[in-house]
Amino acid sequence: MFERLEEIVARCRELEARLADPATSSDPAQLREIGQELASLREPSERYARWKQIEVSLAENRELLEDPDPEIRELALAEVETLAAEGKAVEADLHRLLTPKDPNDSRSVVLEIRAGTGGEEAALFSSDLFRMYTRYAERENWKVEPLSISETGSGGLKEVIAEVQGKGVFGRLKYESGVHRVQRVPVTESQGRIHTSAVTVAVLPEAEGVEVELDEQKELRIDVYRSSGPGGQSVNTTDSAVRITHIPSGLVVTCQDEKSQHKNKARALKILRARLLDREQQRMREERAQERRDQIGTGDRSERIRTYNFPQNRVTDHRLGLTVHKLERILEGELDELIEQAQQHLRSEGAV
């Protein structure tokens, strides 16, 4: 790590010298390029400088621990403890800053929530999770736009697909991919027994059109049909629903929420592109034999990541071995603690 930090310091000096060169200041493109690289290196360079200052101060104060004056020894001991704690924190910062960033972290996402085992209770919990992520998005000033919703008759959601737009959305929400398990007493349970249900969450980085090029004539089969609501009753008198089949992969996406066929097609294409990008990134990582545990790297969405136990007001993250007793607050969107713990844990395992 320290060899890499010395290289960063040397590179910063080189870039600063180039910025001071009059030839650079007359070239706006070069000036911008150097400025961007320097900005990306400045924080680790400055934190490393602080770490070296701490090491020098620690050495000086450890020498004072041998001073014959007891007051000086006492002051030196207190200073050593303070500096050691700060040094540990700065070293953790340096590890974080040198960890390669996922290039997808800054993207918006397509969020997919599906009811699994548990029937209507699972569908109701799908609705709870969608509300939880919507609340979290509000806290982060992100925009949530449902792309496709499949409701049940009692307020549950068999499936919801939504676009979450904002800065750094994937970098935060990618830790939510997996199976979320709920334990609670259903409203319809007369015996008071606790039922266990499951909901699957997938978080896909949103694809740009240039990344996933689609040949509509050769690769896509687009079918239009009349939308229908719960129970099969018609909710539209025109053929506005759209089903898109990606022939090479067999992936199928349907959208019928909008009255406009054009809007439904646009939404379906957005979902399809995200799924195709996700599939391609999985394939590339598998070829490189990288065993990353986030949902994009492993492609394993069957892993149980979290249990929400209503009777005990408890949420357990099984990846972290972390349990918190504030279920209601988490379902209101207070996810920062769980997400940040997941970031730290998975980074330490080299999985992020």
pLDDT of residue 291: 35
Q: Are the C-beta atoms of 265 and 243 separated by less than 8 Å?
A: no
Q: In terms of Cα–Cα distance, which of 163, 51, 71 is closest to 112?
A: 163
pLDDT of residue 280: 81
Q: Are the C-beta atoms of 278 and 296 separated by less than 8 Å?
A: yes
Judged by DSSP in three states, 129 sits in: helix
pLDDT of residue 197: 92
pLDDT of residue 154: 80
pLDDT of residue 46: 92
Task: Name 193's Cβ contacts closer than 8 Å, sequence gap at least 6.
Answer: 185
Instruction: Please give the chain's pLDDT, 352 residues, in tens.
Output: 788 899 999 999 999 998 888 888 888 888 888 888 888 888 899 999 999 999 999 999 999 999 999 999 999 999 999 999 999 989 888 887 777 677 788 888 989 999 988 888 999 999 999 999 999 999 999 999 988 888 887 889 999 999 999 988 998 899 899 999 999 988 767 677 889 999 999 998 887 655 677 887 888 898 888 766 544 444 445 678 889 999 888 889 888 877 788 888 888 888 888 888 888 877 766 664 443 334 433 333 346 899 999 999 999 999 889 999 999 999 999 999 899 888 877 666 655 5
List the domain boundaries for the chain: 2-98, 109-211+293-348, 216-287
What are the helix (H) ranges across 65-179? 70-98, 119-139, 169-173
pLDDT of residue 164: 94
**b/e map 307-344, b = 16+ CB within 10 Å:** bbbeeeeebbbebbeeebeebeebbebbbeebbebbbe
Q: What is the DSSP string of 95-115?
A: HHHHSPPPTTTTS-EEEEEEE
**b/e map 281-302, b = 16+ CB within 10 Å:** bbeebeeeeeebbbbbbbeebe
Judged by DSSP in three states, 215 sits in: coil
Token couple for 207: 């694809």
Q: In terms of Cα–Cα distance, which of 187, 191, 188, 115 is closest to 150?
A: 115
Domain 109-211+293-348 has CATH 3.40.640.10: no
Residue with token string 């736009």: 145
Token couple for 132: 């939880």
Q: In terms of Cα–Cα distance, which of 70, 296, 281 is closest to 202?
A: 296
E strands, the chain, are: 109-115, 143-151, 157-165, 178-184, 195-205, 220-225, 241-246, 251-255, 304-309, 314-317, 322-324
pLDDT of residue 33: 86
Prediction pTM value: 0.61
Strand partners, 251: 246
pLDDT of residue 97: 77
What angle separates helix 28-64 from helix 70-98, to the nearest 10 degrees? Answer: 150
CATH architecture, domain defined by 216-287:
2-Layer Sandwich (3.30)
Contacts 24+ apart (CB under 8 A), 239-243: 240/264, 242/268, 243/268
Tell me whether residue 219 is exposed, middle or buried, using C-beta atoms within 10 angstroms of its C-beta: 0 to 12, 13 to 18, 19 or more.
middle
pLDDT of residue 300: 37
Give the C-alpha separation, 352 to 347, whole Å. 5
Judged by DSSP in three states, 55 sits in: helix
Q: In terms of Cα–Cα distance, which of 322, 5, 297 is closest to 174?
A: 297
Cα Rg, the chain, nearest whole Å: 26
